Structure 1
Amino acid sequence: MKKLTIENWKELQPYIALADYHEYNSNAMTLLMWSNRYEAYFETYEHFALVYTKMPHHEPVWLMPYCALPYRKEALEMLAKRSEQLHIAFEVHSMTKEFKDWLIKEYPQAFLIWDCYNARDYVYDRMQQQTLSGKKMQKRRNHFHAFEKLYEGRYYYKPLTREDIPHVMAFLKRWKETKKEEEYETIDAEIIGIELLFQYWEQLPVEGGCIYIDNQLEAFSITSRLAEDMVQIHVEKANRAYRGLYIAILKCYLETLPDTIRYLNREDDMGLPELRKAKSDMQPIYKIQKFGSCHQALKIHQADAHWKDAVMQLWETSFADETKASSQYYFTHFYHEEDTWLLTSQQELISMLQLRPMDISLHGKKERVYFVVGVATQKAYEGCGYMKQLLHSVLQKEPYASANFILLQAYDWEIYKSSGFVETYMCKRWKLDKQAYLQDEEKGKLTSQFTISALVDIYQTYTKDKEGYRIRDKDYFIQQFLPYADLWQQTLYVYEEDQQPCGYLLIEEHEQDVEVIECAYTTPKVFTNMLSHLAQTTKKVYLRTSVEEDVIGKGKLMTVMMVKQLHKPSLPLEHLYINETI
């Protein structure tokens, strides 16, 4: 491996162009500019080039191999070989999502991958930033117009040339004096990189622009082409004392570019809140995700006693609505190792799910399905495709592969659509028109005194004309329904007429409103009478019902459950009902 220098960077450039990754580390100018801090080493082969970078007092890290797609496997195999020969960890950093997806597909469960959130490139629409047109650009447009008005006749823009270099360096000296001392190390490294680019300005594919105000340089930029349709901003500095100057230097530079340039890459935010806000305020059209990886086997397996503490910890940190008490109850009464599947790597829990058996009623017959619960991935590994890998692998195993349906609930339904889950079970959430349900004389009464048999009878009567509902018995109400109602501070009321139980309401009461989590009844008239009792409260009343229920008020359709159909027949589309969370 040889160090990347001014003299040899052209040897690497053709391979970078073949890869066409569009991310800012995949730019010879970036590697050169920061070579005083991140030394880059490379070697070329017939079809690919390999590059690693090294910071002082840090281990080297490989970048993605540079080559056309057909030669990636060949390149990665050589990278593995060179890792062993050079005693460098077989890790690939600054990976794009496209490369990450390819790596997972070609080498399943062979690499541990993590999301480098702070390293995402911010990409902007060139013409939007140039013209400043549209509602999103209003603030920037106002700042630019203010700049033009304030400094008309006093400023001018010009392409950056060697004649401007002394003025740039003088500006950087003044600019550094406005910074904190703890920032000097990074600032000095950047200035050294700028000086290197200036030293070989005419020999390198870099360009830029500058603005003079009252004949003094107050802003400049240094850029290069990252791809045929994308320009990268390596450096952009402006005197903040001049309102709108940062916007002006970018706009003026972009106006000089050919029409083929459509995108603007402004690199990452390094995890700095102020920089993140500034880059976000510029309205990026997308961000280029970055991932790190190491060659480390992943394993998908059932849980055992060794993993219980890790599973509990991930459960408690992943689900905001869980309490210590509800988690403890779940793991005491419902957690079964044989239902729990894990994706792990070297004794680290990466991702988990539980597939609980559940019986539903279809066409009057009992149907065994599996209910996915406790789906979670460690935060450091979110967005890396682990849950999809785990689901795909587990659902090919028995007994799940023989089931007709897999049911799932989620905080974000979109995540699971790519795994074949479809939003199937729906409900309506109503804001009750209380005035419409006020009665001159109330019928029946609500009581917190009831028998388990009454709950079972009411539920069975309510669901007799429905499909896909969970089959509930006394044990369900004793071991699950009532304990969880208590844990989540919900109250169950049974509605009676003539001392006969004929409906129930599971209620969650808040400061401003009352939420009916579940209601069941024996006749529509009973339902109306139950609602009249709810209408007496001074609080707003919300309730969830099946899609067929007719309630006076404002209703909104909501997804209750997703379904992945593995075999025929399909679930019926009419009268579908379920209301389960565990």
Structure 2
Amino acid sequence: MLPFCEITLKDKRAVEACGAHYNYHLCERCFVDLFMWRSHYGTQICFRDGFLLVKMTPLDGGHDCYLAPIGEGDLGGALDALEADAAERGIPFQLVSIAEPMIERIEAVRPEKYSFSHDNEDGDDYIYLAEKLRTLSGKKLQSKRNLVNRFKTAYEGRWSYEDMTPENVKDAFGYHIRWCNQNGCAQNRDFQGETCAIVQALHNFSALALKGGLLRLDGEVIAFTFGCRATPDMYVVQIEKADHTIPGAYQMINQQFVLRNCDDVEYVNREEDLGIEGLRKAKKSYYPVMRGVKYTAVPKERAE
């Protein structure tokens, strides 16, 4: 079996070096995502002949699965190594979260070997033009502009935005706990996993090269967010929380973060909606320029 082990901060440079060979706009290719969610998804990694190999455990309790190898070298050999690992573990081989351009690469080295499918839109990423999120220009985003302007007018002199630092991350986490209590999700398994992921990100804020921001009203945090540069042309926003009872709070934290951190990238990836109707509606309302579609692959003999 391959020597998989839990991903650590020491792996950051090597993971990013492998990812640099493919400019795929999926959040799973971001070291921060792999690291902060490692406990929730049982993420383990290893390196083989210039490739990053990733094994994960699905939340539905099914068999372990793999991400497509990324790196430079013998892609076919890396795929064969993953298949052999699955066979030794006695589990069916499955690749998940495959970027569309990766399908062509896989087909080039192992033609007609795998069956590719896209069965679940809940996991597709929402990707936006950074310029649109900064300016909220155009008729489609007029309602967002109005909410931002109304917030600024209603709370003039009372609101502030500040960059997240190692000194104020505790304020962000404190707000997350209040947010969970406010939304009745403190005991939900997914939100427990999210809390663990947020702890990991905030505790290692500087080491992960994260950028973040807090929105305050009368000195109290009412929203926070953080993210990182994942590719030369894209930022990923990992977490965003705001008080939904304050009109414009979500729109403000969204715009203020992008204004301060995403002026030199073309895209902002705001990740998936997880099938949550409210989240899906909110993400669609910003009109993504494209979706980060994620495919699954299994050997054809098993799919038939």
Partner of 1:11: 14
1:125-171 Cα shifts (integer Å, max 9, x gaps):
10111011111111101111101101110011111012222222221
1:307-330 per-residue CA deviation (whole Å, 9 max, x = no partner) reads xxxxxxxxxxxxxxxxxxxxxxxx
SS at match of 2:146: helix
- Runs of 4+ more than 4 Å apart: none
Q: Which residue does 2:46 correspond to in 1? A: 43
The residue number in structure 2 matching 1:396 is none
Deviation at 1:79, TM superposition (A): 2.1
SS at match of 1:25: helix
Matched, 1:178 2:178: no
Q: Paired residues, what number?
A: 299
Deviation of the 1:55 alpha carbon = 4.3
Matched residue SS, 1:176: helix
CA distance in 2, matches of 1:75, 1:274: 39
Distance in 2 between the 1:29 and 1:16 partners? 12
Does residue 244 of the first structure (1) align with residue 248 of the second (2)?
Answer: yes
1:157 to 156, 161, 164: 161
Calculate the TM-score normalised by the size of structure 1.
0.49
Q: Select which of 205, 208, 211 maps to 1:204.
A: 208
Where structure 1 has 5 or more consecutive residues not aligned to the other structure, the ranges are 299-344, 347-582
- Asked if 1:139 is matched to 2:143, the reply is yes
Structure 1 residues 505-538: Cα deviation after superposition (integer angstroms, max 9, x where no partner):
xxxxxxxxxxxxxxxxxxxxxxxxxxxxxxxxxx
Pick the aligned partner of 1:274 from 256, 265, 278: 278
Q: Is the 8 A contact 1:48 1:65 kept in 2?
A: yes
Q: Structure 1 residues 71, 109: closer, same or farther in 2, change over 3 A?
A: closer
Q: Deviations over 1:201-228 (max 9, x none)?
A: 2211211111111001111101011111
**Helix, strand or coil: the match of 1:284?**
coil
Distance 1:156 1:141 in 2: 18
The amino acid across from 1:32 in the alignment is F
TM-superposed deviation, 1:187:
1.3
Q: Which has a greater percent of strand?
A: 1
Equivalent-residue separation in structure 2 for 1:237 and 1:182 (angstroms):
14
Counterpart amino acid of residue 90 in structure 2: H
1:114 aligns with 2:117: yes
Instruction: Give the secondary structure class of the aligned counterpart of 2:152.
Output: helix
Structure 2: state its 5+ residue gaps.
none
The 8 Å contact of residues 121 and 267 in structure 1, kept in 2 or not, is answered as yes
Q: CA deviation at 1:258?
A: 5.5
* Partner residue, 1:24: 27
Which stretch shifts more, 163-172 or 81-90?
81-90
Structure 1 position 114, deviation (Å):
1.5
Taking the aligned partners of 1:110 and 1:38, their CA distance within structure 2 comes to 27
Looking at structure 2, the residues matched to 10 and 86 of structure 1 have their Cα atoms a distance apart, in angstroms, of 29
Secondary structure in 2 matching 1:18:
coil
Distance 1:9 1:207 in 2: 16
Rounded Cα–Cα distance in structure 2 between residues aligned with 1:274 and 1:230? 25
- What is the distance in 2 between the residues matched to 1:110 and 1:297? 8
Cα distance, 1:283 vs. partner? 0.7
Q: Using the alignment, how far apart are the partners of 2:262 and 2:253 within structure 1?
A: 17
The amino acid of 2:176's aligned partner reads L
Please say if 1:215 is aligned against 2:212: no
8 Å contact 2:186–2:192 — kept in the other structure?
A: no
Task: Name 2:96's counterpart in structure 1.
Answer: 93
CA distance in 1, matches of 2:209, 2:268: 16
SS of 2:180's equivalent in the other structure is: helix
Residue 63 of structure 2 aligns to a residue in which SS?
A: coil
Are 2:148 and 2:248, in contact at CA under 8 Å, matched by a contact in 1? yes
The SS at the match of 2:15 is helix
Structure 1 residue 106: Cα displacement: 4.3
Indicate conservation of the 8 Å contact 2:75/2:109, yes or no: no
Note the C-alpha offset of 1:53.
Answer: 0.9
Question: Could you tell me which amino acid in structure 1 is paired with residue 131 of structure 2?
Answer: M
Instruction: Assess if the C-alpha contact under 8 Å between 1:4 and 1:39 holds in 2.
Output: no
CA change 1:241–1:37 in 2 (3 A) is same
RMSD between aligned residues = 2.0
Query: Which one has a bigger Cα radius of gyration?
Result: 1
Q: Deviations over 1:384-430 (max 9, x none)?
A: xxxxxxxxxxxxxxxxxxxxxxxxxxxxxxxxxxxxxxxxxxxxxxx
- What is the identity percentage for the equivalent residue pairs of Structure 1 and Structure 2? 24
Distance 1:181 1:280 in 2: 23
Instruction: Confirm whether residue 127 of structure 1 aligns to residue 141 of structure 2.
Output: no
Q: Does 1:103 align with 2:106?
A: yes
Instruction: Output the amino acid matched with 2:173.
Output: M
Distance 2:23 2:185 in 1: 38
Measured against aligned partners, the alpha-carbon deviations of 1:171-192 in whole angstroms (never above 9, x if no partner) come to 1222111223586221121111
Higher relative contact order (CA 8 A, sep 6+): 2
State the alpha-carbon separation in 1 of the partners of residues 164 and 186 from structure 2. 30
Given that 1:208 and 1:253 are in contact with CA atoms closer than 8 Å, whether structure 2 keeps it comes out as yes
User: Does the 8 A contact of 1:228 with 1:260 survive in 2?
Assistant: no
Counterpart CA distance in 1 for 2:259 and 2:239 is 18
SS of structure 2 residue aligned to 1:271 = coil
Q: Deviations over 1:419-476 (max 9, x none)?
A: xxxxxxxxxxxxxxxxxxxxxxxxxxxxxxxxxxxxxxxxxxxxxxxxxxxxxxxxxx
How much does 1:14 deviate?
1.2
Q: How does 1:397-436 map onto structure 2 within 5 Å?
A: none
Distance 1:22 1:202, change over 3 A: same
Tell me how far 1:238 sits from its aligned partner: 0.6
